[in-house]
Structure 1
Amino acid sequence: MTDNPPGLDLTALQAHLGTGVLSAELIEGGRSNLTYRLTDGEHRWVLRRPPLGHVLATAHDMAREYRVLSALADSPVPVPRTVRLTEDPSVIGAPFYLMEFVDGTAHRDSTALAALGPARVRALADHLVDTLVALHAVDPQEVGLADFGRPEGFLARQVQRWGKQLAASRSREVPGIEELAAKLAATLPHSPAPALVHGDYRLDNVLVGPDDRITAVLDWEMSTLGDPLTDLGLLVMYTELAAEFAGVIPGVALAPGFPSGAELIDRYADRSGRDVAAVDWYVAFASFKLAVVLEGIHYRYSQGRTVGAGFDRVGALVPLFVAHGLTALKER
């Protein structure tokens, strides 16, 4: 724990919250919103705030994250309890919220995950899929999220939205990215019934307890109401690319016992009852979305507006995700 880590004025925060002397540390691993461990010596919290510098208009909405976490507090989906939302940027220079600190491991390394053994790795991955199914089974109206998004025309708007996000962050030419966006728009699948979508669902965005059960699903900044298969497509994409991007993106799928992309799809289809025939489109869309996210991060890095290590490698990843998306679409 340190005094005033980048992006956090602890003196101002202490006065605002009325706590004792605060200390904090940046939680490494995130590439978008900044996340800190925070304590006054007696209590432990986690604070989330937008990234420094260049911020897209809707991509880092603290109130949306706070709302969805609060709504899911008593659902079958494990989430941290929310504590406080502060939308006034004058306190620390940006809106932020506090949530409870939840113990658990965020598995990002295949070697550490492999130490569990193939049987436990498989059981954990199965629970990851089952938790996603549970999320998609939540009735938005029952938890007060009926107006959390506009499911009608969701996929078309998503392709358009991420195209606009790309334009807002563009600082260079990325071969093939316009072609990928155009092909996605031209081959939109028919969406199943809408559900609450996480937007970035993968193993390193959950915390896992010593019993290999998920203790909290984190990083809800892209959550909305929409097509649930977008979550599945993203999970499958990360699994398929684990070997190619080992050491750059979380490579947990390389651990012995972790299911293949096809096995993840089969379990999701079996547990949810949804038709997953068009999953290749969703994998391609996930590749496009991540390419845009990484291009935005590359833009902030080029402006000297990132905090933490590893950002120097992000720019080189963007064309690789574009290529994976184009390959996935060829299978349709």
Structure 2
Amino acid sequence: MTTHTEHLELALACARQGPARDPNPRVGCVLVDADGQVVARGHHAGAGTPHAEVAALTAAGPRARGTTAYVTLEPCNHHGRTGPCAQALHRAGVAGVVYAVADPTARAAGGAAWLAGQGVRVEQQDHPGAAELVADWARAAVLGRPHVTWKVASTLDGRVAAADGTSRWITSAPARQDGHDLRARVDAIVVGTGTARTDDPALTARGADGTELADQPLRVVVGKSDLAPGARLTSGTTPALQLRTHDPVEVLATLAERGVHSVLLEGGPTLAGAFWAAGCVDELLVYLAPALLGAGPSAVPDLGIATVTDTARLDLVDVARVGPDLRLRLVPLTTPHPHQED
């Protein structure tokens, strides 16, 4: 007999058909009749298109009555570009709803409770795959801005370059490829104009064979200085977006308007320090090479910490060996000067 998990797996497969980078989360829905047969499937094809539940209901027509809807994300209960999915399910006569992930937004949540109040059988069943699919969107929804990861590659003594300014390569090829895999997962990569001028980075995500992947994150340069003529960030099918500001809050607000949910900081310590001081760093990913330089630029800028009691503490949530290097994932235990919405 088919289980809830199997039907949610099918809904998850539908959800993955949606665009990987979009203002809205990827959601899938399947309608299953009393005999366990799939009546219809649907997925959200991007902002402004019908939600997954409505797509499945449209495909099913009158056959939707009496079915159970399996949905990867709790049906919404608000009017946006489209109507509330919870109400659409009820109007279609759906008898039950099984969803995997609760909607974290105050605006759209409540669909499950509303359906239960209308006599619809409602059940939540956790599904790690469904949660992972919407993790970036959910984190951004809770934060009210994109989630920010500060990426650092340094020696054991915290140097990101030698005294003469050379920096390629501090970490190993496996660590660099791991970084490219991370680039492929985020919505935007952000650097400052200083890094753009000094390193002339491409900021593209590449596969193990060195070729650029078909789906690329948004490339963003922060700062008021012009990029050098012929810079790699000005080339390609989509030149980098330059935001002529030094305010991290403004940067993230602009990116949120573009549907960005996750940001990777790959700039130097000046940019990272500004984001840290603004309370806009949510995670640190440190690639630590077993090497010493003794001198050269530091990975961490002056944070304004004058005494050990003010030390910025972090929680080490994961450690992995990547080739000869270590990858540390950390989250701040406290954030200095967090941005507060009015």
Per the normalisation by structure 1, the TM-score is 0.26
**Greater length-normalized contact order (CA 8 Å, ≥ 6 residues apart):** 1
* Structure that is richer in helix per residue: 1
